[in-house]
Homo-oligomer: A and B are copies of this chain.
Amino acid sequence: MGLVAKYGGDYKDIPYLIKLNSKTNLVKKDQMDPQSFSWYTVEDVVKFKEASGLKILAVGYTVYSGSEFEGQMLHEAAQAVFQAHQHGLFTVLWMYPRGKALADEKDPHLVAGAAGVAGCLGSDFTKVNYPKPKEGNRAEALREAVVAAGRTKLICAGGGSVEVKDFLQTLHDQLHISGTYGNATGRNIHQKSIDEAVRFANAVSALTYDKVSVDDAYAIYKG
Contact = CB atoms under 8 A, between A and B. Distances in A.
Given A1-B122, A151-B3, A27 B70 contact: yes
Contacts of A72: 37
For A6, A24, A100, A123, the residue with the greatest tally of chain B CB atoms inside 10 Å of its CB is: A24
Range, interface on chain A: 35 or more
Given A85-B2, A100-B31, A120 B22 contact: yes
Contacts of A209: none
For A28, A31, A110, the residue with the greatest tally of chain B CB atoms inside 10 Å of its CB is: A31
B82 A2 contact: yes
B66 A122 contact: no
A202 interface: no
B1 A71 contact: no
B39 A75 contact: yes
Nearest to A35: B71
Interface in A66-115: 66-68, 70-72, 74-75, 78-79, 81-82, 85-86, 91, 97, 99-102, 110, 113
Interface of A: 1-7, 22-24, 26-28, 31-32, 35-40, 44, 48, 51, 65-68, 70-72, 74-75, 78-79, 81-82, 85-86, 91, 97, 99-102, 110, 113, 117, 119-124, 150-152
